Structure 1
Amino acid sequence: MAETGTEAVRFDPFADEDDDFSLGLDTSRRAREEAISTFRRNRTVRRLGRTVADGMVHLPFVGLTNPKAALINPNEAKGIPAPKLQEGDVVAGQYEILGVIAHGGMGWIYLANDRNVSGRLVVLKGMQGMDSGAAEAEREFLADITHPGIVKIYNFIDDPRQPGGFIVMEYVGGPSLRSRRNVLPDKVFPPDIAIGYILEILPALEYLHSRGVVYNDLKPDNIIVTEEQVKLIDLGAVSGIGAFGYIYGTRGFQAPEVATEGPSVASDIYTVGRTLAALTLNLPVVDGAYGDLPNASQEPLLRHHLSFYRLLQHCTNPDPTQRFRSVAELRTQLFGVLREILAVRDGKQFPAQHSLFSPQRSTFGTKHQVFRTDQLIDGIARMVQITASEVVPALASPLIDRDDVGAAMLSGSSYTEPQEALETLRQAMHTEEYAHSAEIPLGVVRALLDLGYTGDARSWLADLQPRLGEDWRFQWYSGVTDLLLEDYPAAQDHFNRVLDILPGESAPKLAMAAIAELRLQNYGFAHKSLLDPEVTHATGDLEGNLADLDTAAFQRLVNLHDEPERLRFHAMRFYAVVWRTNPTTVSSAFGLARMLMAENQVEMAVAALDRVSQASRHHRMAQLTTILQLISGRLSESRIRRAARRLEEIPTNEPRFFQIKIAVLSAALNFLRGADLRAAASPNELFEYPFTQRGLRIGLAETLRLQARMAPFPRHRYSLVDMANQVRPVTWF
């Protein structure tokens, strides 16, 4: 039995059952007309816009523009030949010319009315003249481009007035990003909005690349915003990857190597970087085209968001091999940079959903200051310095590249013993199937490091250098290896290279901060103030802004060198930006606090640790650390009382409660003695004791005796009791 086709069912809620059916036809026509009228009317209704970039950016609603407003007067264009088509001309018996809307590499671009489709406006753009076979091939691949983020192609027509004929495209009735930018107060977009728009057009570029072609002419003029859509227009410059002949582009946006090496994915990446720069910066104009990127010293926005600056530099590197390798890689870093911008500028944190690294595996430097007070328990002195062996296990690990041919094998080997995994991976490397895998040889390095064979790992990396030296994972594991071998300058260089390639990732920033701190420890400057107060506030304050720094001071500090002052600046800067962006990476909070304490910025150090979430298992340690910070350095009655109040908020069953209490009481007694005071200015007690020398000595003696009861060794217990007897005031009864 044959299937039935689509049929119409009569529905007229206002008709009686006995009404003539012919009247229903009129009702149906009116209903259709009403639906069309409603659709057209609602197109002009202003809506709220939409959120993009995983909810991080809200793009405003942009209403449709009047097509007549898009027309320009060609007579005002100096040095450009007059249009070949005039208003009222009809092309191919179908397209009635309304006027011109722009001038491009192939001449004037026309707005026309499609007589065959009621109310449809189209754009006619000239095509390059070529032989009939090549022209037919070009038309075929252009007609096959179908993506919601790319303007639709309706037709190709031949016309004697245009040697290559015309391409007929969809008219997108909205302003370009260039037009939108030019009406803004500073004629630039905020970086988050600009990144939001770029993220919207990246899928279109990725689609083109997957089809073996490149766009070639990305620029703000060719990105149209209409209602809730962002679209690429003007496919006239699209060409095959590696094509030769005439490659169209725009000076100031086109990659420098196109003229000698042809178009590529890397050259499209270059145009993305230049477009993002043109949207967010007032670029210099040289000979009618945008010039080079300003450096961070010259541009406050780039100084404030150095990761954004790194991203622009990586996109627009003169060497195409040193740019992002794909749109997907660029998109991942754009998300990371966007997260950082919003955290630093607005104090808003978002989850790292696109990171190339695992979450932080453990922590480093979170317990050192509190652990010093454990000497009261067992009499053993403790070091307050971080070590490389403590830092490395706390660093995030690179995630396996799922597109690598060896990814499946590595996923399975993660559940085996390191020695067994090492042997399996070594055998796999000698098979033809895995000959081109990068993950398997790097997996060998990872296994060697897990087994503690650090020297062997360095030798293995040296052998991989010729093949994988430019891979960021190679640079990461080289940095980890040198860090374990305490070759800090080499480790710093490797992690800095990772950061150049992956500016949106927090993992290399945390590694850079730790290495700078380790080098300061080696130089003996771990606890010495090195920075001017204004530099410390701009760098380490969670509300600080590097753009507020004096230009000369920024230029002096920003480059990585061995001077202690610069090491402190970078340690503080990286710890601060990681902590502001990633509220779960508590190692950065404690690291920032240590740097601030070294600069005698107690209040800023306390504020940094106060941001540790109550849900974090490190919250208690952060509380105890802030108490010790308040009683460090220059003492005051106010800080001592604040420290005591903070301790009183902690339950007495906290194992270190009494030793911290002893530290606070000792600081209070030292404060009174140092100021030659018998009592504090306020009559209020400190804990349950009078804030006087006698009262504090009584409290200190009692607390030392309580602490002695918990001492694990008899000898130390007796020492604590002796200390209590020495500090106790003399009594006569």
Structure 2
Amino acid sequence: MSDDNEPTTGPTPDPTPDPTTGSDPEPDQATAATFFDPFADDDEDGDDDWGDWDDSTAATGPTPGPTPEELAEASSERSRQEALSTFRRRRGTSRRGAEVAGGMVRLPFIPPTDPEDAVIDPTPAVEAGTEAPTLAPGDIVAGQYEIRGPIAHGGMGWIYLAVDHNVSDRWVVLKGMMAASTMQDRAVAESERAFLADITHPGIVKIFNFIDDSRSAGGFIVMEYVGGPSLRHRRRRQPDNTLPVDTAVGYLLEVLPALDYLHSRGVVYNDLKPDNIIITEDQVKLIDLGAVSGIGAYGHIFGTKGFQAPEIATTGPTVASDIYTVGRTLASLIVRLPVTDGVYDDGLPSPDEEPLFRRYLSLYRLLLRATDPDPENRFSSARTMADQLIGVLREVLAIRDGRQFPHLDTRFTAQRSTFGTNHLLFRTDQLLDGIERSVEITAPEVVAALPIPLTDPSDPGAALLSAASLTEPGEILDTLEAARRQPDMAASREIPLTVVRAQLDLGMTTEAEEMLRTMAEDMGRDWRHQWLSGICALLTGDFVGAQANFNTVLNILPGEPAPKLALAATDELLLQSQGVNTVGLLDADVRRSALALTYSQGVPLDDSVTVPGWTHLSQDPVALRFHAIRLYGLVWATNPTTVSSAFGMSRQLQAEGLVDAAVAVLDKVPANSRHHETARLTTVLMLISDAGNLSESRIRRAARRLDLLPTTEPRIPQMRIAVLSAALDWLRSHPDAGDDAEAGSAAGLLFDVDFTERGLRTGLERGLRELAHQAPFARHRHRLVDMANHIRPRTWF
């Protein structure tokens, strides 16, 4: 029987119905060629490359013309040559560039360079002490690779550009490999060749061949030639020798999946740096796989000083050591790192030293974690780092450009509710029912509003938790306790964490604290354990402990908004516990810095920024106020649906006497938000609440805002009374202010009463009597009537 792909000769028989089913058999799916001759019509008309007959032809008899087979071959060759010419001519045709990070960044299109232009003159390097190239232009390697010249020098010697004459004269790169001096070294080299040959990822340069050649002790590795500049070259062409943050992050987000692919195959790249990342057209590729090794491999581990992880000599290559090189590479692209003897110094400049880190503190935190001296504190995988990098990118674009993007790669649910949005308004309800209310936020309402960690779908208990997600906390406790005793659930981390959450929801704080203590040894470094410990500390009033826990979560997840919101609320609770939440604490310079770092006030963040410190671990009131403003502002700038952050920032700004700034924040609550009217009503109260800075202009602004609200808003009567009362108090302290406006004129009216003491008293009396009709309690109703009688203007009847 012939193979299915074997071409048949002769006519194809009609398909015979299957006797068992009565249907036609499966059609033949073998690949076949279809003849296409675009020049057939031209040939039939006689207008072809074979010429016309002349008189001499007629005299001597016809010369045999081309056969149909020869015409078909000529047409086919012409078609192939035209297609190949077009293909080569259009190499590097400009396109729009690649969109990355869900469309947040468009990387520029980079035309590929002419391969011949990549060849360099090695003379200066040789004169400086570098060994001379062992291969010269024109040399032939392995009978097929013609050397055109060196293009770079690396740790393994010179790297050469060559032409592969066996494969359509394609361009390739030859790079020397490490010599194997012992049998064990040769075995290691063979295994490394095996896994290098099996690497197939669109973001990694292709390996074509391995060559044993006497001119290189370890032979040569033959790789794909990627025509384009390196990231280092792109960076050096920028005016300040740095790339824009979003562009640099976009390039690294293209690199991280390639590293994640290598890590998943059990190998690490080892030598990530801007030189080894090439941009060609709309692609980003890792080149130079000569340093790739197995995880934990020993022997010579190649890398570059200033980028290589400090522990690699003791731990060998690991995923953590690769993560370190990613952090160093990103830092070198966006800031000017200090250099000593031609090598980048260890560490990062602080936000006090580097303006970019002052502006994008989450980016600074991400780099700190990626390059932490302790590999255990770095990101656990390239994927995890990419997720947090996307979150940081969202913040950068929101801060710099005012563009918001949905946060899809998150570790938390959405915010469950809001806190601190109605407190100022609730105080006006005292006019209606006489019940006094607090304007301070409370720990339970903050906890009820904060998002909760998402369940890890790979956890053994994930399916059980998903099925029980709608179960009441009291019922789920028994289910989870029973599940923990099952052998297949013993390794689950999500089940005990969910037990703690259920206990906290039920008010079983003591039990939750005890369970967290028992889990600390095994899960103490897990950010979810730290998060729940912070929640538990909030509910027990240990705000200092909560601050430390949430700060740890932020260090681990710098791209997440949840720990920033939790830290801001904790700082506000600390200010309340110290009794200074409504007191101005910042001097003029720090106040300006705080305004700049709210990212929504249009205040520039210059080099002379003054801050009380960048650490969040502080009980200093000045630092607490500064960071509460900054963190609330950052969350609000990034996501305009987190209205708790808008109200929180406005409260802190109001405490600093920055009423106009506080009002401007709440004015940005979207019109489609259910908190829009609450925000507008709150701005009315803010405008009239600062008696020391009250003015007629602010009073009239408050009144106009109230007039624009729907008449169905139930709090409008008590809000009118608040505005009229503030106007009367102000007018008493400015007795001549009401004389400028003519009584009864539009300019002299506030709402529908004259802006005079008599007019304001009349309006207040009427408003109080209207509220008295609505009061639910008789005692308070009588009190409102007494207030109306007391405020009414004097009359003779």
Sort the TM-score into its range (normalised by shorter chain).
over 0.9
Measured after TM superposition, the shift of residue 576 of structure 1 is 0.7
Alpha-carbon distance in structure 2 between the residues aligned to 1:491 and 1:642: 40
Match of 2:788 among 707, 724, 728: 724
* Structure 1 counterpart of 2:767, one-letter code: T
Kindly tell me the number of residue pairs found equivalent between the two proteins: 732
2:158 paired residue number? 108
* Structure 2 counterpart of 1:345, one-letter code: R
Match of 1:220 among 274, 291, 302: 274
After superposition, the C-alpha distances for 1:324-358 in whole angstroms (9 at most, x for unaligned) are 11111111100110001111111111111111100
Distance 1:665 1:362, change over 3 A: same
* Structure 2 counterpart of 1:592, one-letter code: M
The answer to whether the 8 A contact 2:98-2:283 is kept is no
1:12 paired residue number? 38
The answer to whether the 8 A contact 2:412-2:452 is kept is yes
* Structure 1 counterpart of 2:601, one-letter code: E
Other structure's SS at 2:582 match:
coil
1:33 paired residue number? 81
Other structure's SS at 1:569 match:
helix
Alpha-carbon distance in structure 2 between the residues aligned to 1:125 and 1:164: 10
2:460 paired residue number? 405
2:660 paired residue number? 603
The gaps in structure 1 that reach 5 residues or longer are: none
Distance 1:308 1:545, change over 3 A: farther
The answer to whether the 8 A contact 2:531-2:553 is kept is yes
The answer to whether the 8 A contact 2:355-2:607 is kept is no
After superposition, the C-alpha distances for 1:442-462 in whole angstroms (9 at most, x for unaligned) are 111111112211111111011
Distance 1:659 1:473, change over 3 A: same
* Structure 1 counterpart of 2:641, one-letter code: T
Distance 1:593 1:5, change over 3 A: closer
Measured after TM superposition, the shift of residue 139 of structure 1 is 1.3
Confirm or deny that 1:53 pairs with 2:101.
yes
Deviates more, 1:345-354 or 1:557-566: 557-566
Confirm or deny that 1:93 pairs with 2:162.
no
Measured after TM superposition, the shift of residue 218 of structure 1 is 0.6
After superposition, the C-alpha distances for 1:465-499 in whole angstroms (9 at most, x for unaligned) are 11000000000000000110010101100000000
Measured after TM superposition, the shift of residue 709 of structure 1 is 2.0
Alpha-carbon distance in structure 2 between the residues aligned to 1:439 and 1:324: 20
Confirm or deny that 1:152 pairs with 2:178.
no
The answer to whether the 8 A contact 1:528-1:599 is kept is yes
The answer to whether the 8 A contact 1:406-1:434 is kept is yes
Alpha-carbon distance in structure 2 between the residues aligned to 1:304 and 1:669: 44
Confirm or deny that 1:570 pairs with 2:596.
no
Alpha-carbon distance in structure 2 between the residues aligned to 1:13 and 1:379: 96
Root-mean-square deviation (Å): 1.7
Alpha-carbon distance in structure 2 between the residues aligned to 1:385 and 1:5: 75
2:508 paired residue number? 453
2:717 paired residue number? 658
How is 1:139-538 mapped onto 2 (pairs within 5 angstroms)? Answer: 139-291=193-345, 292-538=347-593
Identity score, percent: 59
* Structure 2 counterpart of 1:667, one-letter code: A
1:587 paired residue number? 644
1:616 paired residue number? 673
Confirm or deny that 1:550 pairs with 2:608.
yes
Distance 1:138 1:240, change over 3 A: same
* Structure 2 counterpart of 1:669, one-letter code: L
The answer to whether the 8 A contact 1:680-1:691 is kept is no
After superposition, the C-alpha distances for 1:88-134 in whole angstroms (9 at most, x for unaligned) are 11111111111111111111111111111234110000111224433
The answer to whether the 8 A contact 1:557-1:565 is kept is no
Other structure's SS at 1:154 match:
strand
1:120 paired residue number? 170
The answer to whether the 8 A contact 2:593-2:611 is kept is no
Measured after TM superposition, the shift of residue 681 of structure 1 is 4.2
Alpha-carbon distance in structure 1 between the residues aligned to 2:204 and 2:688: 63
Measured after TM superposition, the shift of residue 728 of structure 1 is 1.8
After superposition, the C-alpha distances for 1:656-690 in whole angstroms (9 at most, x for unaligned) are 01101111111111111111236164551211122
Deviates more, 1:223-232 or 1:287-296: 287-296
Measured after TM superposition, the shift of residue 364 of structure 1 is 0.4
The answer to whether the 8 A contact 2:534-2:550 is kept is yes
Measured after TM superposition, the shift of residue 68 of structure 1 is 2.4
* Structure 1 counterpart of 2:82, one-letter code: E
Confirm or deny that 1:640 pairs with 2:695.
no
Measured after TM superposition, the shift of residue 24 of structure 1 is 3.8
The answer to whether the 8 A contact 2:612-2:626 is kept is no
The answer to whether the 8 A contact 2:387-2:410 is kept is yes
Distance 1:187 1:507, change over 3 A: same
Match of 1:65 among 113, 129, 134: 113
Confirm or deny that 1:691 pairs with 2:755.
yes
1:81 paired residue number? 131
The answer to whether the 8 A contact 1:359-1:396 is kept is yes
Alpha-carbon distance in structure 2 between the residues aligned to 1:128 and 1:731: 106
**Structure of higher CA gyration radius:** 2
Measured after TM superposition, the shift of residue 530 of structure 1 is 0.3
Alpha-carbon distance in structure 2 between the residues aligned to 1:363 and 1:667: 29
The answer to whether the 8 A contact 1:124-1:167 is kept is yes
Distance 1:91 1:441, change over 3 A: same
Alpha-carbon distance in structure 2 between the residues aligned to 1:546 and 1:572: 16
* Structure 1 counterpart of 2:653, one-letter code: L
Alpha-carbon distance in structure 1 between the residues aligned to 2:554 and 2:92: 46
* Structure 2 counterpart of 1:721, one-letter code: V
The answer to whether the 8 A contact 1:539-1:576 is kept is no
After superposition, the C-alpha distances for 1:392-446 in whole angstroms (9 at most, x for unaligned) are 0100100001122221122122222323322222232233322222111111111
Measured after TM superposition, the shift of residue 260 of structure 1 is 0.5
* Structure 2 counterpart of 1:354, one-letter code: D
The answer to whether the 8 A contact 1:665-1:699 is kept is yes
The answer to whether the 8 A contact 1:128-1:163 is kept is yes
Alpha-carbon distance in structure 1 between the residues aligned to 2:614 and 2:79: 71
Distance 1:554 1:546, change over 3 A: farther
Other structure's SS at 1:165 match:
strand
After superposition, the C-alpha distances for 1:602-629 in whole angstroms (9 at most, x for unaligned) are 0000011011011111111000000101
Measured after TM superposition, the shift of residue 545 of structure 1 is 6.4
Deviates more, 1:447-456 or 1:484-493: 447-456
After superposition, the C-alpha distances for 1:358-408 in whole angstroms (9 at most, x for unaligned) are 000000000000110001100111111001011001001000011222211
Other structure's SS at 1:62 match:
coil
Q: TM-score by structure 2 length? A: 0.89
Match of 2:728 among 657, 664, 669: 669
Alpha-carbon distance in structure 1 between the residues aligned to 2:242 and 2:729: 57
Alpha-carbon distance in structure 2 between the residues aligned to 1:473 and 1:588: 22
1:713 paired residue number? 777
Alpha-carbon distance in structure 2 between the residues aligned to 1:562 and 1:140: 58
* Structure 1 counterpart of 2:562, one-letter code: A
* Structure 2 counterpart of 1:550, one-letter code: S
* Structure 2 counterpart of 1:224, one-letter code: I
The answer to whether the 8 A contact 1:560-1:567 is kept is no
Distance 1:343 1:351, change over 3 A: same
